[in-house]
Amino acid sequence: MTAALLLCAPGGDARADTNADIAEKMVRILERVATIVDMNKSDCNAMGDKLNAAIDENSAFIADAKARSESMTQAERDALQARFGARLQAATMRMMPGIRACATNSKVTAAIKRVK
């Protein structure tokens, strides 16, 4: 759920995917997370359960994406930011009220820690 997730790509067989393909998938994951947070902002336990389920479903991809992100050049990161930055910012802004409302919930904080 960080900006670094946008700038990622998985390893292994998926390396044939372009950085843009991977960034698109990461943005879609973040947009899904934003929907979960927004729809569950009045029930922090439900939010935490659903966030953890989404992370479980995508954990291998997220881990590989983070690792590949570290090897990207600044120019590659800048290109992805230019292409996907507005969507990333919109999803992040959509999440903020729910994250603030549930910032002390142990399930929500555990989910956030898993993707940092």
The DSSP element (H or E) to which 34 belongs, if any, is helix 19-39
- Where do the structural domains in the chain lie, given as residue ranges? 3-115
Query: Can you tell me the distance from the alpha carbon of 31 to that of 95, in angstroms, rounded to the nearest whole number?
Result: 9
Chain segment 58-71, per-residue pLDDT in tens: 999 998 888 878 88
pLDDT of the residue at 16: 53
Query: Can you tell me the distance from the alpha carbon of 53 to that of 69, in angstroms, rounded to the nearest whole number?
Result: 23
Where do the H-state alpha helices sit in 40-105? Answer: 44-69, 74-101
Q: Distance of CA 96 to CAs 69, 82, 92, 103, Å?
A: 24, 22, 6, 10
Q: Give the residue-averaged pLDDT of 62-83.
A: 89
pTM of the model: 0.81
CB 27 within 8 A of CB 85: no
